[in-house]
Amino acid sequence: MDRAGALIEAVLDTRSRLIDFARGCSDEQWAACPLGEADPRPVAVIVDHVADAYEYLARWIGALAAGQETEITPEVIDSLNARHAAQAAGPSCARVCAHLTTSGDSLTALIASLADDQLADGARSARLADIAARHATAHREELEAALAARS
């Protein structure tokens, strides 16, 4: 499998696992804030945050592919995440799963359009695509563990 195919498969696999997790949540779990002070957002908002992150990662990858400089700093990411948290009050599971599907599909289509050199090891676009897959897994695993600890 080529690099693009491997990255696409990773994003789609981790997205599928996150969607399965979301669909498996009870209404109570979906509305819960199991991470406490470390992350006071409800499960619904955290899962939707992954879909939102697919969108800004795709914007950055697209800009890089077009030869544009892109500022990606912790402050920029924190600002995007804070804006999302303020705007995403109590999304339904169906809406979040649809958002994950559309934003993930857009991201993977973009990855598929990139040239081999744009996805070579160490290329910023490849690192951002890899982050998309790892990000979904990290949030799913963190939420699964926190919800299990509450039971």
Whole-angstrom CA distances from 61 to 38, 69, 114 are 29, 10, 9
Q: Does the structure show a pLDDT above 80 at 87?
A: yes
The CATH number assigned to the domain holding 81 equals 1.20.120.450
The pTM assigned to this predicted structure is 0.93
Domain that holds residue 114: 3-150
Range 5-25 average pLDDT:
97
Range 78-94 average pLDDT:
89
Domain total of the chain? 1
CA neighbours closer than 13 Å in the CB half-sphere of residue 29? 18
Residue 107 contacts residue 4 (beta carbons within 8 Å)? no
